[in-house]
Amino acid sequence: MKRKHNQIDAEETKLSSLLFNKTKKFTEKLNRNVTSLSEVDRKPAWIDDDDRQFKVNTVIPKVKNDSLYTEKLKQKYETLIGSPNWAKIKDASNKDESGSDIVKTVGHLDKEKVSKFEKNILEIKKSTTIIPQKGAITTSLKFHPKVSAVMLANTSGIVSLHSLDGNNKLHSFKLKSWTISSTHFKPDGSEAYISGVRHTYCIYDLVKASTKIVQLPHALKKAVHFKLSPDGKFIAASEGFSEVFIICADTNEVIKNIKNNSNVKAMTYSHDSRELYCFNDLGEVTVWNMTTMKPIKKFFDSGCITPSRISMSHCGRLLATGTAEGIVNIYDTAELTTTNPMPLKTISHLTTKITNITFNPTSEMLSVSSSFLPNALKALHIPSYNVFPNFPQKNLQLIETVGFSPNGGYMGISNNKGIVNLFRLGHFKNY
């Protein structure tokens, strides 16, 4: 049966309460894998009492052990007759086209119908306000990939995790003398990578609640740009000059240093982590292959004067660039075949420097913002690129950072007053 939204919210709160409570429950939940079909103990659907009248040597000679009789009889049957189609068990990974496992559950006769994401109104079910620390600005906001919680990091070096209702701080720790600029979760949510404008970065083990400080390459004095790849394998770090260091996330060793034509202003990975897009101060984007560590294409951002941000959609089909003049260009990645490609759409609703470009996980929504004017944020519908006129409804002050939860159900926005606003988006049913 379909659960009500308040039941979903209650479950999210319950799950959040398990996070970082230093009990075995959280560790088990974080490390728990879905049991495969092959691991399930399969038992016969029925047993015929008549089978017991047969003795060992009646059908299969030379079988002296009664315990082997059933298995040998089964093998002989399959050799002579073969397994009927109805008795074959399909691989759990080969899902049929008609739907997912939910349609096989009692009470579900069809897939749940997903309502169309309308372009005119952004449905806000509720909003929550969090103030992690008075007087400190939240510079990074990331939702946990597995458990319903949000990680906030600020200019005082404090990293904290909060439940989505805002009433419960689940965990916090401080990195002394750090001004944190970015945070990233590993895909499985077991570790967080934290960087500031300094010569080191921090790896935080969420299960053990322990920190590890790692030195950046000697030639890199500070990490102005710090990006963890979506698959969690690579770190791209740059001081803002032409050189970008590619670091193995597991061993923390430098794999390669790649050189661009000019100073790097922004970076983003492709959705599959196979490519790295470097946006330099000439308005040129260089695309690097992460296997060969060589450039595979270059192109100039249309009309770009002063580049500021670059972001890739989760589906991999859209690339967005932002400038200091408040212009955002959206490109189809399949059309980036020339040195001067034309954007699918140019967004010019803002007039000051673009400081945030964020696609939601379903690639149906795009947030663009500037931290230079109050309330300078626009939420756009994709693929119409219409701006939602009803958002934001309240004054959000100067926008610092924007983030979405793994399934798009929540949108988080932090501002220069140290306040984080969490909005529950009604169209997206899951966290």
Given the candidates 3.40.50.1370, 3.20.20.70, 2.130.10.10, 3.30.200.20, the CATH classification of the domain at 124-425 is 2.130.10.10
What average pLDDT score do residues 70-81 get? 63
Q: Do the bridges between strand 200-205 and strand 275-280 make them parallel or antiparallel, or are there none, so unpaired? A: unpaired
Taking the CA atoms of residue 408, residue 165, residue 146 and residue 209 in that order, the dihedral angle to the nearest 10 degrees is 140
Residue 20 pLDDT level (bands cut at 50, 70, 90): very low
Return the biggest CA–CA distance within the chain: 90
Burial track 36-52 (b if 16+ CB lie within 10 A, e otherwise): eeeeeeeeeeeeeeeee
Phi and psi dihedrals of 30, rounded to 5? Answer: -70, -35
Of 10-19, 104-113, 270-279, 329-338, the least confident: 104-113
Per-residue CA distances from 274 to 6, 170, 186, 217 (Å): 40, 35, 17, 23
DSSP class of 29: H
Tell me the residue type at 90.
K
- Sheet with 345-347, side-by-side order of all strands: 307-312, 318-323, 328-332, 345-347
Regarding predicted confidence, which is higher, 77 or 322?
322
pLDDT recorded at residue 54: 54
Residue 111 pLDDT level (bands cut at 50, 70, 90): very low
Which H helix or E strand runs over 13? helix 5-17
Regarding predicted confidence, which is higher, 249 or 50?
249
356-407: pLDDT as tens digits: 999 999 999 999 999 999 999 999 999 999 999 999 988 999 999 999 999 9
Percent of the chain with pLDDT over 90: 69
List the end-to-end C-alpha distance of the chain, in Å, as a whole number. 19
Phi and psi dihedrals of 214, rounded to 5? Answer: -120, 135
Q: Is residue 214 scored above 70 in pLDDT?
A: yes
274-299: pLDDT as tens digits: 999 999 999 999 999 999 999 999 99
Q: How many residues does the chain have?
A: 431
- Omega before residue 406 within 30° of 0, cis: no
Beta carbons of 314 and 271 less than 8 angstroms apart: yes
> What is the residue extent of each domain of the chain?
124-425
Residue 109 pLDDT level (bands cut at 50, 70, 90): very low
Token duo for residue 4: 């009500």
Across the chain, mean pLDDT equals 84
Q: Is residue 113 scored above 80 in pLDDT?
A: no
Q: Is residue 112 scored above 60 in pLDDT?
A: no
Of 47-51, 109-113, 195-199, 309-313, the least confident: 109-113
Q: Cα–Cα distance between 305 and 326 in angstroms, integer? A: 11
How many CB atoms within 10 Å of residue 366?
24
Token duo for residue 345: 């759409």
Most confident listed range (71-85, 98-112, 249-263)? 249-263
Burial track 393-429 (b if 16+ CB lie within 10 A, e otherwise): eeebbbbbbbbbbbebbbbbbbbeebbbbbbbbebbb
Token duo for residue 236: 């791209």
Say whether 256 sits in a helix, a strand or coil: strand
Q: Cα–Cα distance between 246 and 258 in angstroms, integer? A: 8
What average pLDDT score do residues 215-244 get? 96
Q: Cα–Cα distance between 368 and 372 in angstroms, integer? A: 13
Residue 35 pLDDT level (bands cut at 50, 70, 90): very low
Q: Which of 431, 363, 351 has the alpha carbon at shortest distance from 146?
A: 431
Residue 80 pLDDT level (bands cut at 50, 70, 90): low
Q: Cα–Cα distance between 229 and 242 in angstroms, integer? A: 20
